[in-house]
Structure 1
Amino acid sequence: METKKKKLKMPHTYVILVIMLLLVTALSWFIPSGEYDRIEDPETERIIVVDGSYHSVEKEYVTPFQAVGAIAEGMVESSDIIFFILFAYGMVYMLIKSGAFFGGIAQVLRIFKGKEKIMLPVLMVLFAVAGSTVGISEEFYGIIPVFVGIGIAMGYDGLVGGSIICLSMAVGFSANTTNPFSIGIAQSLAGLPMMSGMLYRIIIFIVFTGLSIFYVMNYAEKVRKNPELSLVKDVDFGHLKGMSREEMNKLPFTNRHKILLGIFVMSIVIMVLGTILGGWYLRELSALFIIMMVIIGLVAGFSLNEICENFLESVGEIIFGALVVGFARSIMVVMTEANIIDSIVFYMSEILIKLPKYLAAIGMLIFQNLLNFFITSNSGQAAVSIPLMTPIGDMIGLTRQTTVLAYTFGAGFSDIFWPTGCAVMCGLMGVPMNKWYRFITPLFLMMFVLEIIFLMLAVSFGYGPF
């Protein structure tokens, strides 16, 4: 009797996150609870840790029942991000229902017929530059579903479309040149001139951006030639999956569609200006998307009842990804309740100080990568790690620029890998986390090797002010 071989199947996204949650809960019983003292840095006006102030506190134990409760707490703490995702997709969904979304894509594809390959690198460079220079990242999350639809319409898949914006912005934000939220804060805390060491960082940016473009284009071409090679061929992207290229070529692009897309573009302009000039974040951006969703619906000719019904339909399509954010946040909740984050930082820093400088530089990179699992905010990670790593680097002979470089690498690139970092991206793309890992892991490993090479070079020539 013939037996069928079972294929090794990656766990569901929620299963992966729950396993990590239980693992962290178990570790919380063995890692001592401890804290650093914190003060406000007068230059950056941020709360930073005081070097040498680590002390033990009464042990906090997180029970399995509390760990399950942390899922609910994670949902509450991530509610601003979760609802931001719902409202951002709601606006895009209204464009889809109006016909303007695919009508506009069809028009773009007609213009670039036979030149779709040009669009990929051009768009990725634009988004990478935005992340590298002014630190735009989360602000563009609202248009990720748009690019998922564009990727599918171009004959590729949702991963290609999502990577155009997600991967390029993450790379730009990590291999940053003048990003005030990352390099700006870190150099200030390390006592370095703001935006110094620019030339080396520009070279790093070019190399990493080039690698990511090559990787995405290589995968895209494989999928275009053989759709069966798509890692997300069995993923339902809902209304974003659109239609065949032949059907799309027949779509009209009316004056009303032009007006609706003009409103959409105007909302993006307002979003960027509000973020840069007005300091907008999730609350303001959510409000913008709600307003624009209603305006788009009214201009499209929908009644208020139809707008509400369309919004509820959009929630049904995106809720899987939105809730991933809350699940990922629950891991942080457990570590915070157990008071073990500062303890992990302390023990890792104690190991680094005993290493020779080349190994210490690699150790700093690993430290920053691991720390990014626990502290997902780049500026927050700088406030915790730079005051600790700077004196360690001084003692073992590393320049402060090298210490800051290890921070920018570790605090940035691992965002595309750790579930606490990539959960939002996966949610907005509608890509299960297991599929994302199959796609991104080879690239992440290549990037990690490059990070080590650039760090070793920095140690060799004493990376300083240029």
Structure 2
Amino acid sequence: MKRERKFKFSMPHAYVIMMTMVLISAILTWVLPAGQFDRAVDPALGRELVVAGSYHAVDANPIGPWAFCMSIFQGFVNAADIIFFLLFACGYVTLLMSTGTLNALVGSILRKIKDKDYFLIPIFFTLFALGGTTFGMNEEAWGLIPAFVAIAITLGYDRIVGASIVILGTGVGFAAAVLNPFTVGLGSSIAGIPSVGGKITTFRIVAFVCFVTVTIIYIMHYAKKIKKDPTKSYLYGVPEPTVTASRDEVMQMPFTGRQKLTLVGFGIIIMTIAVGVAKFGFYLQQLAAVFFIGMVITGLINKMGPSKIADSFVESSKSMVFTVLMIGFARSIEVVMSSGNIIDTAVLYLSNIVKGFPSGLSAFAMLLAQNLINFFVPSGTGQAVVTVPIMAPLADVVGLSREIAVIAYQFGDGFSKMFWPTGCAMMCGVMGIGMNKWYKFIWKLFLMWIAMEVILIMGAVMVGI
């Protein structure tokens, strides 16, 4: 009797998935017509904005095999800033963890809160969310992910829990922002409306609280489930980073004077990031310098010689190879679509869809369009300068306020960034999590976000925002 062969699906390697996405983007340059909007510098903002109604056809530039291969390299070049920022940030965090300071801190906290360690999730999540909602902290915090992954695994959770505290904390705060200058501030300025005001600010605070609460509950539910039964983890069977001590061992660790001094340095770095970003416009280059200085000083505090600090930096860089390659591939998608002149075409088509909806559903259509546009323009500021000059006047035409147009842009940019592969591929690379594992975790939460976006924006229309 002939034995039947059962087909077993095997998830492709993460790099294969990303190369496929780049290939699909290249194919789209052969399908979508090439076109661009005119752009002009706004003197008040000092930024180049799209001129509404100026779309025109341009020479097609379909991406062939040779250009496709070159776009991979160009993607890595374009991603150099965040790649090297992460190398320096991870270098600092790796050296910090090697001193045992974080384990000693966690042990000290656990001795006080005992079996209530799950409260650490909402506390740290809220802190990161506040950074995102006020001064726009997002990628700047990614360098701290290894530290929170180590803490989460020590407490009996998994990498997803630790990484989500940082990634989703800053991401939700950034997306449901109250004062974020990179979305609320820029979007409102382009639309010609105040960024703060009675109704709109109240709405944003309510939205922030709703999104943060739902996301915290979702993470805590997952965390409790996998702590009770580790086989429920989406990473079950996947090797996790080596943990230097178990939960019980950590609780027995003394908190030495040297470690306390190291922790003070860690706190100073966090404050420097917050103040630097909020007050002095620090971004990746300046923050990389902060982490480099922190790495050297932390090494000296713990009596490490220059060679030992250098060895630690090299080892941490080795562990980041998968991450930085994922980031480079993700940027290649943007390179292909930009070189093929199809990004503005996609924006035009999606804005035309909004016009075709009945007036009562225009806000929903605008929200849907912004979520889809984020696939093509994963940058928050990039999406603002391309879409808000089009969507704000369009809101006037369909009978909506310009505030609604900015809310749609804000939600569409922020939340879908944590789901579309053009955005989450970089996050998965930083977290060291396969995209298939991340999607298993995030898809239900993303649907909850979408439902909340629709309810909130329709509510905003009903109350006259």
The answer, yes or no, to whether TM exceeds 0.5 is: yes
Q: Which residue of 2 aligns with 1:116?
A: 117
Deviation at 1:233, TM superposition (A): 2.5
Residue of structure 2 equivalent to 1:450: 452
SS in structure 2 of the partner of residue 416 of structure 1: coil
SS at match of 1:28: helix
Alpha-carbon distance, 1:5 to partner: 5.7
What is the one-letter code of the residue matched to 1:211?
V
Q: Match for residue 193 of structure 2? A: 192
Q: Does 1:422 align with 2:424?
A: yes
Aligned residues: 462
List alignment gaps of at least 5 residues for structure 2.
none
2:238 alignment partner in structure 1:
235
8 Å CA contact 1:238, 1:317 repeated in 2: no
CA 1:300 to 1:5, structure 2 compared with 1: closer, same or farther past 3 Å? farther
CA contact (8 A) 1:358 1:459 kept: no
Q: Which residue identity lines up with residue 128 of structure 1 in the other structure?
A: A
Structure 1 residues 315 and 235: alpha-carbon distance in aligned structure 2, compared to 1, 3 A threshold:
farther
RMSD over aligned Cα, in angstroms? 1.8
Matches within 5 A, 1:55-454: 55-196=56-197, 197-239=200-242, 241-454=243-456
Matched to 1:372, the amino acid is: N
AA in 2 matched with 1:279: G
Structure 2 length-normalised TM: 0.95
Q: SS state of the match for residue 40, structure 2?
A: strand
Shift in CA distance, 109/4, structure 1 to aligned 2, threshold 3 Å: farther
| One-letter amino acid matched to 2:427 | M
SS in 1 for 2:49: strand
Q: Report Cα offsets for 1:416-459 as digits up to 9, x if no partner.
A: 11223223332332222221111111100111111111222223
- Shift of the alpha carbon at 1:2? 7.7
Identify the range of structure 1 (135-144 vs 249-258) with the bigger mean alpha-carbon deviation. Answer: 249-258
**Inter-partner Cα distance in structure 2 for 1:442 and 1:418:** 14
Q: Residue 27 of structure 1 corresponds to which residue in structure 2?
A: 28
Cα distance in structure 2, aligned partners of 1:208 and 1:11: 33
Higher mean displacement: 82-91 or 261-270: 261-270
For the residues of structure 2 that align with 1:138 and 1:109, how far apart are their CA atoms?
Answer: 29
> Cα distance 1:105–1:6, how it changes in 2: closer, same or farther (>3 A)?
farther
Residue deviations 1:338-360, cap 9 Å, x none?
A: 11111111122222212212332
Q: How far is 1:53 from its partner?
A: 0.6
Alpha-carbon distance change, 290 to 235 in structure 1, aligned in 2, over 3 angstroms: farther
Partner amino acid, structure 2, of 1:376: P
In 2, distance between residues paired with 1:228 and 1:298? 42
Normalised TM-score (structure 1) = 0.95
The amino acid that maps onto 1:402 is I
Give the Cα separation in 2 of the matches to 1:357 and 1:130: 36
Amino acid at match of 2:332: S
Distance in 2, matches of 1:112 and 1:236, equals 29
- 1-structure distance, mates of 2:126, 2:105: 22
Deviation at 1:251, TM superposition (A): 3.2
The residue matched to 1:48 in structure 2 has which SS? strand
Letter in 2 for 1:238: P
Deviation at 1:4, TM superposition (A): 8.4
Give the counterpart letter for 2:251 in structure 1. N
- Over the matched positions of the two proteins, sequence identity in percent amounts to 44
Q: Deviations over 1:34-64 (max 9, x none)?
A: 1111111233222110011111111101013
